[in-house]
Amino acid sequence: GTQRGSVQFLSPFSGLPIGIVSDTTTQFSASSTVSIQASGTLDVTAGSTITLSGGTGISMGASFVYGFETGSGTVGTSVSSEVQLNKM
């Protein structure tokens, strides 16, 4: 049979937890670099929101980003010196 539970990942250096995988949570924390590689497709799906944040930005390297909506706006239509664009 199966049991509910979780798998905890510990730092080999400090012994402190750096990640957990359970039936409701997948969470990792790193003080350096985290790399995820796939030889095929890497699919990330969320029922609500996916948030990417970086202290100095988000780099896509030399990769192409595609499959999103585009749009245009006019400076100053809503707020002086600003463009409002609502696309996903």
- Higher-pLDDT residue of 88 and 68 is 68
pLDDT at 2 over 80: no
Measured CA angle at 33 (ends 53, 48), to 5 deg: 35
First to last CA, the chain: 42
Residue 19's Cβ-side half-sphere holds a number of Cα atoms within 13 Å equal to: 10
Q: Give the C-alpha distances (Å, rounded to integers) separating 22 from 8, 78, 82.
A: 9, 45, 44
pLDDT at 71 over 70: yes
pLDDT at 74 over 70: yes
> Which residues are 22's β-sheet partners?
6
**Cα separation, 6 vs 26, whole angstroms:** 10
pTM exceeding the 0.75 threshold for the entire prediction: no
Tell me what the mean pLDDT of segment 40-47 comes to: 87
